[in-house]
Amino acid sequence: MLDFIYYPVSFILWCWHKVFGFVFGDDNAIAWVLGIVFLTFTVRGIMFKPFVKQVRSMKKMQDFAPEIKKIQKKYANDRQRQAMEMQKLQREHGVNPLGSCLPMLLQIPVFIGLNHVLRMFAPGKESNYFFDAEGVRSYVDAKLFGVNLGDAINHVSALGGGAAAAEPGWHWHVAPVAIPLMIVASVATHFTARHSVARQNPASATAQTAMMNRLTLWIFPAGVLIFGAFFPIGLLIYWLANNCWTLMQQRLVYTKIDKEEEAKKVEAKEKRSNLGPKPGQKPQVGQKPKPAQQQKKAADSESEGGTGSAKSAGAAKNGTPKNGKSPKSGNPSNVKGGAWAKNGGNQQRSATQGKKAQGRKRR
């Protein structure tokens, strides 16, 4: 029924077992352990981009968390309107709520498929999906500290036959290998969840968020510690490798995103400082702040204008016009003024001579 999951999982495991079997030998448990570990790394590597999108989506949702709270408070009695407003807000910010769940959802079929494939390695089987009879025999005979990778502390018949034990019940000889793996996997699960919770914005905390944080911090690790007794050794190795990968991936991605956010803040700060006035300079009323380059050009033009004004003032003081020409060929207004003065003098002399002539006649 789920062969579309079992075949790809078994194929990836088969490929990695061939790679490490060439180095350590096909029947060596180390080749099988590394095959399971790198199966985990392969699947997580495929899901790396969805994980980055998940982190960015969660970051955006935390940024507009106050708006979400306002909508929840405003439409507390109208669930349908509240859902519509939430979807509208998510579209405006370009957030897909399902995108944050995608990496987790993709891990579920891998876990189910690997669990089934490892449990189907049983003595006497002719094949196990991509593994032939020789591959099945190699897995059954491989021992890790005297325990087969398909063994579990408690075998449940409903989950399929084990590699070394077909009878359901408790098998305490597996405990010395299984219990340390269970403890380490549980601790890794807790620290992975803690690292993710520490990234959350306190302003976006809700009752649902607090409940999910408790589940991921304490319930899930406790579940690994308790229900790990029913997992085969190979599946515990997968769980441990998966959490180690997640912890490393979170640190790398979070560090990169933090650097991007810091660079954006520095760029925005520099942009604001360039738009503002220079120290000690008061902007005029209604004048927009000039960028740094425009302010520099304005200062240069002002200095050039000041030099030109000083030269003009010196020339005027010495009685020489700015252009160095004489008043006669210079300003037309000066020429008109001289002609007017000349005509006025002639008219005054004519009037004087007329008065003298009248005096002679009377005599």
Q: How many CA atoms lie within 13 A of 351 on its CB side?
A: 6
What does each C-alpha distance from 29 to 14, 23, 33, 282, 311 come to in angstroms? 14, 12, 6, 77, 95
160-174, 187-201, 297-311: the lowest-pLDDT one: 297-311
Residues 6+ apart with CB under 8 A from 308: none
Q: What is the pLDDT of residue 213?
A: 79
What are the structural domain ranges in the chain?
Answer: 3-265, 327-363
Q: Between 187 and 288, name the one with better pLDDT.
A: 187
pLDDT at 136 over 70: yes
**What rounded mean pLDDT belongs to the chain?**
75
pLDDT at 194 over 60: yes
Question: Distance between CA atoms of 241 and 256, rounded to whole angstroms?
Answer: 23
Minimal CA–CA distance to 246: which of 89, 96, 45? 45
Q: What is the pLDDT of residue 165?
A: 44
Cβ pair 233, 152 in contact under 8 A: yes
Residues 6+ apart with CB under 8 A from 185: 224, 228, 236, 239, 240, 243
Residues 6+ apart with CB under 8 A from 76: 82
